[in-house]
Structure 1
Amino acid sequence: MSGNRELSYRGHEEESDEEYDRLYTKNINTKLTISSDINKELLKRETWEFKKDITQKPKVKLASVDAKVSNIIDMIDTYDRPGNTKAEGTYAGAGTYAEAFEDEPGKRIPKAGAYAEAGVGRARAELSVLEAEAKGPNASAGAEASLTGVAAMARAEIASASARAGPVGAKLGLGFDTGVSAGVDGLEAKILGTGFSFGPKTSVSFLGSEVSCVVM
């Protein structure tokens, strides 16, 4: 009897161990199956395409709004400017200018410079410190020295629209600047829309895209 009991007890013990082994193996298999499913989801093409889409950055800065110190000073020149509108199909021009201390709009602040421009389609309206302009494809270059600073800049645009009310200006367009300027608005240098500016507005630009910080 004693031997039978011992065999019976051992047999029960072995059965229990096997049962636990089966349960343990099943749990491991379940975890591996879940892990495998997750890996399959991560490897799906759509998962990575979605991630790529949400991290894309715009390549060109299309619009800007600013308030420049030089625009405040320029209000001395434009506060009594008479109303005027002009529209042109194609245009081209070049010239030089020099004004200083004349009691006329645009000629009170000393400045001198040269310019050249050409384009297709331009409309402009101005009255006192207000002005607005729209342009089609165009290219221009100019250099100027005045009380507000010095600048030499070339610009190529596909199209643009701009407006200004005193010191505040806004522009919507697609184009690239090349040149340098230094004055009350800070220091700026760009080559085909890539460069930097330091001053009240500090920014870094790359091919027309810009990251900036404005200190007011």
Structure 2
Amino acid sequence: MSAKLQVSHQGHDESDEDSDMPTNEHEHSGNDLESDIPSTKQRQNRGEVDEITITKSKAQETSLVKEVIGMVDTYDREADAKAEGIYAEQGSYASSYEDKPGKRNPKYGYKAEAGYGRARAEYSVFEAEARGPNAGVKAEASLTGVEAMARAEVFAAEGKAGPVAAKVGLGFDTGASVGVDGVEVKFLGTGVSIGPKMGVSVLGSEVSCSVM
């Protein structure tokens, strides 16, 4: 006895055909768009370094260069101390490179100053100075920058150790300087230093430090 096997095949309607068709459509949500934007870490991995980072790095390098020049210029400076009563001096000066303390950074300029009471001590990269009433002007150009400043002080005491400097006093310095460590502007003893060297001055007292 033979059996007939009937196989029924249902037809596809339009919806079935649509569902069988492959699709390449991809819906982007807000999150998808954000994910397409590379993160800072991804940009750095691909070699894309932020311009601000480059600028900051260069500024730190130039500041470091100046500090290295200054320390190389004075690292072998012998200990010295002196005190003066009434003093007055003026004149231009120029120093070319010599392998001696204080002469490894060529300088050219003019200075005039007068005052009453001045004491100074220095050794290697350390220095300190105290002054009584005084006034003066200074204009200088060197490998590390240019400066023009007029000074009038009632009193001042300052010290420096490498890249760190501090000053306490009452003064009215007015002028500006531009160099590898940034820009400094003062008016009547108050001003700021902006750049690798950061500092603030208020009526003759100031503190500053070069950013490494």
TM-score, with normalisation over the residues of structure 1? 0.60
Sort the Cα spacing of 1:164 and 1:68 in 2 relative to 1 into closer, same or farther, 3 A: farther
Q: Secondary structure at the match of 2:103?
A: coil
Describe the superposition over 1:41-61 as per-residue Cα deviations: whole angstroms up to 9, x where unpaired: xxxxxxxxxxxxxxxxxxxxx
- The answer as to 2:83 corresponding to 1:83 is no
Q: Indicate the larger mover: 110-119 or 185-194.
A: 185-194
Q: What is residue 146 of structure 1 aligned with on the other side? A: 142
Q: Which amino acid aligns with 1:111?
A: K
Aligned length: 150
8 Å contact from structure 2 (residues 185, 192) kept in 1: yes
The RMSD of aligned alpha carbons is 2.9
Gaps of 5+ in 2: 1-62
8 Å contact from structure 1 (residues 71, 168) kept in 2: no
TM-score, with normalisation over the residues of structure 2? 0.61
Q: What is residue 21 of structure 2 aligned with on the other side? A: none
Which protein is richer in helix relative to its size?
A: 1
Q: What is residue 154 of structure 2 aligned with on the other side? A: 158
Q: Which amino acid aligns with 1:150?
A: V
Gaps of 5+ in 1: 1-66
C-alpha distance in 1 between matches for 2:162 and 2:200: 26
8 Å contact from structure 1 (residues 72, 166) kept in 2: no
Q: Which amino acid aligns with 2:167?
A: K
Q: What is residue 44 of structure 1 aligned with on the other side? A: none
Q: Secondary structure at the match of 1:73?
A: helix
C-alpha distance in 2 between matches for 1:215 and 1:68: 8
Describe the superposition over 1:135-159 as per-residue Cα deviations: whole angstroms up to 9, x where unpaired: 1111121011111100101111111
C-alpha distance in 1 between matches for 2:192 and 2:170: 18
Q: What is residue 35 of structure 2 aligned with on the other side? A: none
Q: What is residue 106 of structure 2 aligned with on the other side? A: 110
% same residue: 67
